[in-house]
Amino acid sequence: MNFEAAKKSDLTKSVYLLSVILFLGFLLRIYISTIITYEGDFGTWRWWAEGLSKVGFSQFYDNYWCDYMPGYLYILRLLNEISTWAPWLSPYVLFKLPANLADLGISILIFIALRPLANIRIAMIGSVIYFFNPAVLSNSTLWGQVDSFHAFPILLSIILVLRKQFVLCGLFAALAFMIKPQTIVLFPIIGYIAINPFFNSVGRWNIKNFIPGIKIIITVILTCTFVTLPFIWDKFDSLFYIFTGPLELIVQRFESAYEQYQIASLNTFNFWGVFAMWQNDQNQFLGLTYKTWGTGIFAAFYFIIFICLFRFNLKNNENKKLYTYLIFQAVTLILFSLFLFVTRAHERHLLPAVAFFTLIMFRSWIFPYLYAIVSGVYVCNMFYSYIQLTTEYQGVPDAVEKALIPFMFISYFVAFVIVLINFINHAFRRRSSTEQSN
């Protein structure tokens, strides 16, 4: 009883200390939000926000160029209203607030996710490291981008599906998709976790094994429909349009977001950035376009990751802790490979992978070093892109660029391969009875 009381007291103290650290860190973020900003993106946020207030949701896409899905536009409309109510509030603080709050939320989720898997100290360190990670700060607090606002519902949906909260998982997965369509690459993983009983059940074809997946699908469809309705409200010409209209808008916005930049690499230190920076991804190599090559390489790694998860499920499904770690590691690898090999990636798109990498950072002695390398390369990539964009590509000499980008890609790739090998080893290694009971 005394042990339980002491344990509860330690948890309370840790939560209090973590709250103080994160609160002070948040104040620091507010302060440095006004120091550096990429005005190109920041001006776009404000222009869209003003346009949404001026013409409303239903007329916005008809009157304004926009390559974003509807999800984040609700936030921009709200920010513009707040700006009207409080004109004294710095727009840099205000328009960076959603991303800063999302980073705070991700840090809290990291602590919550690691608590059942590790000790309090590791959970706290993981939370604090993410919140103060220069890579994260460079995206949200300095540049002014919103990738963390996308990463938050992704992380939450994965945590929720692991905890069998299927409706809430579907809700946040759909919201993540309606913010950035790249979320779709994680839907198979979410579905796999949801129907996990199918693989471990004797009566696997029992309808009960598929109910979690059905719940998620229905929730995703309903959420996406509700999010799109204000944008098509004045276009209703029949009752049937309530079914076709949302789908049409989603397909249209998906294509707009994906087809906007038919470029192999947009300032990105990935595979294509080494030799095809700002080249058209319809260029061909051995009869296939760069886009096809990138998609094929990504699909190959995705297949390997899924095979590993299937193998682990068949042989070691009793070890719930290791299973949870492997899911986090699988998502990290999927998002990492998406960034490294699929064309049309921006320099900042790796951020969601950084959030998941934080969850597995203490799984191996080498992972903290890899995490530091990945974070450092990310900062360099953001800095490189900022210089190039703000100097009309006159800021980085060609000789430096030719040496820098391959080295940075190799650093990324080595980290990716080591994490992948570790993942495969854990998935295929037979666990002892002692390990399975821990």
Quickly state the pLDDT bin for 383 (edges 50, 70, 90). Answer: very high
Predicted confidence (pLDDT) per residue in 12-40, tens digit:
888 999 999 999 999 999 999 999 999 99
Predicted confidence (pLDDT) per residue in 271-286, tens digit:
999 999 999 999 999 9
Specify the DSSP element, H or E, that contains 241: helix 241-259
Asked if pLDDT for residue 140 goes beyond 60, the answer is yes
Asked if pLDDT for residue 270 goes beyond 80, the answer is yes
In whole angstroms, how far apart are CA 435 and each of 115, 137, 138, 326, 430? Answer: 19, 38, 40, 15, 10
Query: What mean pLDDT is reported for the chain?
Result: 92
State how far the Cα of 182 lies from the Cα of 329, in Å rounded to an integer.
Answer: 18
Residue 266: strand pairing partners: 346
Residue 397 three-state SS: coil
Look-up of token digits 């080893």: 425
Q: Average pLDDT, stretch 190-217?
A: 84
State how far the Cα of 122 lies from the Cα of 129, in Å rounded to an integer.
Answer: 10
Considering only residues 258 and 26, tell me which one the structure prediction assigns the higher pLDDT. Answer: 26
Predicted confidence (pLDDT) per residue in 82-93, tens digit:
999 999 999 999
DSSP state letter for 56: -
Asked if pLDDT for residue 4 goes beyond 80, the answer is no
Q: Which residues contact 416 (CB under 8 A, 6 or more apart)?
A: 333, 336, 337, 340
Q: Does the predicted TM-score (pTM) go above 0.85?
A: yes
Asked if pLDDT for residue 75 goes beyond 80, the answer is yes
Considering only residues 240 and 366, tell me which one the structure prediction assigns the higher pLDDT. Answer: 366
CB 329 within 8 A of CB 369: no
CA 214, distance to chain mean position in Å, is 24
Quickly state the pLDDT bin for 434 (edges 50, 70, 90). Answer: very low
- The whole-number pLDDT of residue 210 equals 87
Query: In sequence order, what DSSP letters do the residues of 356-389 get, joined into one string?
Result: HHHHHTTSSTTHHHHHHHHHHHHHHHHHHHHHHH
Look-up of token digits 């299927």: 166
Best CA proximity match to 100, nearest among 156, 133, 146, 34? 146
Look-up of token digits 């009157």: 63
In the structure encoding, which two tokens stand for residue 396, read together?
């980085």
Residue 346: strand pairing partners: 266
Best CA proximity match to 271, nearest among 327, 328, 340, 322? 340
- Per cent of the chain over pLDDT 90 is 80
Buried b (16+ CB within 10 A) or exposed e, 170-206: bbbbbbbbbbbbbbebbbebbbbbbbbbbeeeeeeee
By DSSP bridging, strand 265-266 and strand 284-285 are unpaired
Specify the DSSP element, H or E, that contains 355: helix 351-360
Best CA proximity match to 422, nearest among 350, 380, 378, 369? 369
Best CA proximity match to 151, nearest among 128, 131, 167? 131
